[in-house]
């Protein structure tokens, strides 16, 4: 760690020209990953990530530099080089870094850095055994274990001086089912802001592995999904990826501030069906996407994005707050010191409605039931999105019928939001990694079971 004096010197060097803001982000991260395939531990790796990012800004113009060096001379030089972008006289900004603030809201019982590797790889062996025991048709299991302890220190010329520790642990199981004709796979990847205690307190390793196998087997015996437009019921948990992709990204200031989002200028307007209330909450205790502070040193918050269908808040980092001329929502996040922060989601979900799961199914004459979703992507400027269905069924006359595979859902975010006509009462969150301008970061997606009255379903089978 750098001393307060060194940090102050670097910040002052950054203000030596006409800049109005400077920030130092220091990161030390220790991560362990392990892989199992063919029922044998195949790779185990420890990694130390360590570096410093210096950000200098004037209004909303920003220069960013990063390095692995922790030498004062190198860092002052980097800050001085960056400052050359803002030619002019210093603004005489003074600041003082006080006591290092370090509230730690999310507590961890067993730091993964203090757990022997043997215990970690045992998790993979248990997962492999359970996944294979599920069925003879499971022919391969690829299991991955990952944990990290990330310590960050953030200081800036507004006087922010905080330390945050993020601890995350995750198990990811990919099961492959085969017969003579084909191979299909199923995936399940639970995790959280936890240490190794997660495997006692939260994750049932065997159940998690069996879930991956169950999906793989379903797909092996599924028919090709028909294509066309139809009602789609998207189940709770990872189904929330639809909201994340179709709407969440378009509510990030990264695209909103530049007018590059379909939702720019729409606050206070009705953008979704009355049934939709959506929240981005970085404060949920020990959730995968939570942290005590964001990556600009602000306390994480709960943000109501959509209330009863009306757009109520964007997600705004401090820099875009200047551009938008309004307060930030403490939404600045980044993968590591190699990225300048920008507005990002944390744990984002559609809130509970009133319908039960059974009611939703019963009230659907024909449609697709997407029980498990894969990933997807969106173009924020158009709102057009796509995502893959990992486990799907056809619904006929209010009953779940034959399994189907290979479906992709496409649509535009603003249409899909208006077409949500039933919202369940069984909210569940699920873990994912989200890639965007400031790197790949952990985020929770979530929702209760919802029904979209009409969506384009792309499968390999022709229209029914």
Site for other proteins in 278-337 (CB under 8 A): none
Distance CA(444)–CA(429), nearest Å, equals 6
Binder to other proteins among 20, 81, 137, 223 (CB under 8 A)? 81
| Per CB under 8 A, 60 contacts other proteins | yes
- Number of amino acids touching other proteins (CB under 8 A): 79
- Residue 349 near residue 305, CB atoms below 8 Å: no
251 DSSP 8-state letter: G
- Upper half-sphere CA count for residue 382 (Cβ side, 13 Å): 9
Q: How many CA atoms lie within 13 A of 237 on its CB side?
A: 12
Select from 16, 80, 113, 178 the one that contacts other proteins (CB under 8 A).
178
Position among 6, 37, 115, 324 found at the interface with other proteins (CB under 8 A): 37
Question: Min. distance of Cβ 321 from other proteins in angstroms?
Answer: 16
Beta-carbon contacts of residue 2 (< 8 Å; ≥ 6 apart): 10, 24, 26, 52, 70, 72, 75, 153
Pairing between β-strand 40-58 and β-strand 21-37 as defined by DSSP bridges: antiparallel
Give residues 330-369 in contact with other proteins (rule: CB under 8 A).
Answer: 338, 340
State the minimum distance, in angstroms, from the CB of residue 98 to other proteins: 29
Pick from 15, 26, 78, 422: which binds other proteins (CB under 8 A)?
78
Q: What 3-state class would DSSP assign to 156?
A: strand
Q: How far is CA 12 from CA 23, 55, 95, 325, in A?
A: 10, 12, 9, 26
- Scan residues 5-34 and list those touching other proteins (CB under 8 A): 34
Contacting other proteins (CB under 8 A), which of 134, 196, 238, 385? 385
Of 362, 396, 401, 460, the one binding other proteins (CB under 8 A) is 460
Residue 300, both tokens = 């994480």
**Residue closer to other proteins (CB basis): 351 or 454:** 454
Segment contacting other proteins by CB under 8 A, of 36-44, 148-156, 201-209, 344-352: 36-44
- Applying the rule CB under 8 A, the residues between 223 and 262 that interact with other proteins are 225, 227-229, 258-260, 262
Q: Does 1 bind other proteins (CB under 8 A)?
A: no
Task: Verify binding: residue 388, other proteins, rule CB under 8 A.
Answer: yes
423 CB-side CA count, 13 A: 25
Burial class for 83, CB neighbours closer than 10 Å (0-12, 13-18, 19+): buried
**Closest CB to other proteins among 50 and 352?**
50
For 274-295, give the DSSP string. Answer: TT--EEEETTSTT-TT--SB-T
Minimal distance, residue 173 CB to other proteins, in Å: 14
Binding part of the chain for other proteins, among 192-200, 202-210, 374-382, 395-403 by CB under 8 A, reads: 374-382
Which C-beta is closer to other proteins: that of 281 or that of 295?
295
β-pairing, 226-234 vs 461-463, is: parallel
How far apart are CB 69 and other proteins at their closest, in Å?
7
Using CB under 8 A as the binding rule, the residues of this chain from 197 to 226 that contact other proteins are 225
Q: Are 63 and 81 in contact (CB under 8 A)?
A: no
CB-based burial label for 354 (10 Å; 0-12, 13-18, 19+): exposed
H, E, C per residue of 244-265:
HHHHHHHHEHHHHCCCCCCCCC
Q: Check residue 418 for interaction with other proteins (CB under 8 A).
A: no
463 binds other proteins (CB under 8 A): yes
Interaction residues for other proteins, span 107-166 (CB under 8 A): 117-118, 120-121, 139-140, 142
């Amino acid at each position: 760690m750098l001393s307060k004096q060194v940090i102050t010197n670097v910040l002052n060097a950054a203000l030596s020209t006409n800049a109005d803001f400077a920030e130092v982000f220091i990161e030390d991260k220790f991560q362990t990953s392990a892989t199992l395939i063919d029922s044998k531990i195949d790779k185990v790796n420890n990694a130390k990530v360590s570096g410093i990012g210096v950000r200098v800004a004037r209004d909303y113009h920003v220069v960013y530099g990063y390095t692995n060096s922790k030498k004062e001379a190198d860092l002052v030089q980097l800050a001085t080089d960056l400052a050359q972008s803002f030619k002019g006289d210093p603004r005489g900004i003074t600041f003082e870094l006080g006591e290092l603030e370090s509230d730690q809201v999310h507590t961890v019982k067993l730091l993964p850095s203090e757990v022997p590797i043997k215990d970690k790889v045992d998790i993979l062996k248990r997962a492999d055994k359970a996944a294979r025991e599920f069925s003879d048709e499971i022919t391969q299991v690829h299991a991955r274990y990952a944990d990290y302890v990330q310590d960050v220190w953030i200081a800036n010329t507004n006087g922010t001086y905080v330390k945050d520790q993020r601890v995350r642990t995750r198990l990811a199981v990919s099961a492959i089912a085969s017969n003579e004709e084909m191979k299909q796979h199923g995936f399940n990847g639970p995790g959280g802001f936890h240490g190794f205690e997660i495997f006692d307190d939260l994750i049932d390793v065997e159940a998690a592995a069996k879930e991956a196998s169950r999906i793989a087997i379903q797909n092996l015996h599924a028919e090709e999904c028909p294509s066309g437009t139809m009602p789609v019921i998207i189940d709770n948990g990872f189904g929330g990826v639809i909201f994340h992709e179709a709407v969440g990204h378009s509510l990030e200031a990264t695209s909103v501030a530049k007018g590059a989002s379909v939702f720019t200028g729409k606050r206070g307007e009705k953008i979704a069906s009355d049934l939709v209330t959506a929240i981005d909450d970085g404060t949920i205790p020990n959730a995968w996407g939570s942290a005590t502070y964001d990556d600009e040193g602000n306390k994480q918050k709960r943000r109501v994005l959509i209330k009863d269908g009306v757009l109520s808040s964007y997600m705004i980092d401090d820099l875009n707050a200047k551009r938008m001329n309004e307060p930030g929502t403490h939404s600045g996040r980044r993968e590591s010191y190699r990225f300048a922060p920008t507005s990002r989601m944390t744990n984002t979900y559609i809130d509970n409605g009133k319908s039960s799961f059974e009611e939703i199914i019963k009230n659907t004459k024909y449609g697709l039931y997407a029980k498990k979703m894969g990933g997807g992507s969106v173009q924020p400027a158009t709102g057009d999105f796509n995502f893959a269905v990992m486990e799907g069924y056809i619904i006929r006359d209010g009953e779940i019928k034959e399994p189907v595979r290979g479906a992709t859902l496409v649509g535009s975010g603003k249409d899909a939001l208006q077409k949500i006509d039933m919202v369940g009462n069984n909210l569940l969150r699920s873990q994912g990694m989200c890639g965007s301008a400031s790197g790949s970061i952990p985020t929770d997606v979530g929702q209760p079971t919802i029904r979209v009255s009409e969506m384009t379903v792309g499968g390999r089978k022709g229209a029914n």
